Chains A and B, each alone.
Chain A
């Protein structure tokens, strides 16, 4: 068994553990031991603002993705197999388009002369174009679109394992469809909710291209601080300190989540 997994372990060691370790080392060692990079991260308020904004955006994206994704997963779960395959393919389809292309597609839709504003003006709903992009709003919309599959798939996997006869039992005991849903189905699907939310939230924390292209320069998420610090301080330590703090936040989130459900459920299907 060990012989079988050792190539994978070696790859992980060479491509993940060593570089991340090297980066972490850079953040505390530059011509001698230093905590300067961390002092900056914890005392200068631009870092706090960026971390706060990143968590706010991630939270908004997670909530919206849940509200949009849950009905989709529910529908895919309750229709015959052929239909559910079709629904899930549609969910996964955007995966095959690059993040960059999707960001530009949103730009074409949302900008001042974009499809949505032109259509609304044609209908005379608005007189001035709406500011839909180059701000936090545009960033959230595009990020939700990109991360939605990570919400739908764990939800669907969990719903698949909820025995259908439980709902029938509820109905036979006289409960209305909405009562069976809220008292039986929803609680049983909660592990999927938690798994989907964790995936979306954590992935969103590290988003870079979408806020860079659609944020108008004001939406500075943590990943953008990382790249900016390389330019500004001309050394990797200043950037890797930010990355290390972000990584530790992610690990902390996984730790808290693992107190409630097993991580296997978040990362895979069990």
Chain B
């Protein structure tokens, strides 16, 4: 039978539980990425360990293209998301349009320690992938194409070709084919790039629109060489297709973490942002999926074995062979104009 004292104790206990619950509820964020195997890999490598270490709850959501949702959520004045993992250009564009919080790097030491090219006032790099030159080893058992100049050289390397139906990375590749050094690309000479693209256009069999399509083209032998994302090519190779790629003159691209303007849990979001780019968490990501860590310090943690590191796009030696995409240029007026010009180029 319950005595009065016991009852009192129970009430106190319940009250305490209630209190801890509210404390827990305050320490939570909503994190958004792109779903699928990629988000699953992050959950294991970064999200769960970060939540544990910080003692917070990370609610997850996913969306293929976060940009329209960022616009509508912040536009409505009451965003429900805190942190988004999205192509870096969205963070920059959002920052300029007042949709993304400006970061205080004194509260983000892990981000502050990253090289300047890997962060912006609004974002820190989260993971890297690369637009690489991929080819069929059946067509090119040796002397494979190794640069964009080779890709453009239809005499020396006959065969069917595919490029992405998008100006990102494609204009960069055209300029490198025309002799521009990977570290001297920006600001892009758009006229020169399109002129060079006109040259290869008759030899492009397919302008692909989705990563899955690029993988299928290579896997089925529909094309002999193409620009594709490194993770897609290695996935096709793992399934047994005779395909390979080179990081030489690849275009290194990234997604970044940024925080929505007026995010409901701003302080926790900043804490999480710092934790998410911690070198050890970052080093765990490529153990789950074929993407490189956004924080280059991850390669100094000894978590990634040298053989594995050599396969990753942002490994320092690989990164040195590539061009780092300038999202600042692509979100500038010149970049936006180039994006619109792409449409008329395709239909001519």
Chain A contacts to B: CB under 8 angstroms: 44-46, 49-50, 111-113, 131, 134, 212-213, 216-218, 220, 228, 232, 234
Contact = CB atoms under 8 A, between A and B. Distances in A.
A217 B222 contact: no
A45 B346 CA distance: 12
Given A111-B222, A113-B220, A113-B222, A234 B346 contact: no
Given A212-B209, A232-B340, A220 B347 contact: yes
B226 to A, nearest CB: 12
Contacts, number: 43
A232 B165 CA distance: 13
Given A213-B213, A234-B71, 12 more contacts: A45-B344, A46-B344, A111-B222, A112-B160, A113-B222, A131-B205, A134-B205, A134-B206, A217-B209, A220-B347, A232-B339, A232-B343
A112 B165 contact: no
Contacts of B157: none
14 contacts: A111-B220, A112-B160, A112-B220, A112-B221, A112-B222, A113-B221, A131-B205, A217-B206, A217-B207, A217-B208, A217-B346, A220-B347, A232-B340, A232-B343
B347 A46 contact: yes
A154 B319 CA distance: 62
B130 to A, nearest CB: 21
A216 B222 CA distance: 11
A226 to B, nearest CB: 13
A210 to B, nearest CB: 13
A93 to B, nearest CB: 26
Interface string B191-227: 0000000000000011111000100000011100000
A212 B165 CA distance: 11
Contacts of A44: 344
Contact of A46 (B207, B220, B343): B343
Interface in B38-80: 67-68, 71
B338 to A, nearest CB: 11
A216 B347 contact: no
Nearest to A231: B65
Contacts of B339: 232
A218 B162 CA distance: 12
Contact of B206 (A113, A216, A220): A216
A205 B68 CA distance: 28
A46 B347 CA distance: 6
A134 B214 CA distance: 13
Given A50-B347, A134-B206, A217 B340 contact: no
Contacts of B160: 112
Nearest to B67: A234
B202 to A, nearest CB: 11
B252 to A, nearest CB: 23
B343 A216 contact: no
Contacts of B222: 111-113, 134
Nearest to B219: A113
Given A131-B205, A134-B206, A234-B71, A220 B346 contact: yes
Interface in B3-34: none
Given A111-B220, A112-B160, A218-B207, A228 B343 contact: yes
Given A112-B160, A113-B221, A234-B71, A216 B346 contact: no
Given A111-B220, A134-B205, A217 B165 contact: yes
B73 to A, nearest CB: 15
Interface string B246-276: 0000000000000000000000000000000
A60 to B, nearest CB: 18
B311 to A, nearest CB: 28
A232 B346 CA distance: 14
Nearest to B213: A213
Residue among B165, B205, B340, B344 with the highest chain A CB neighbour number at 10 A: B205
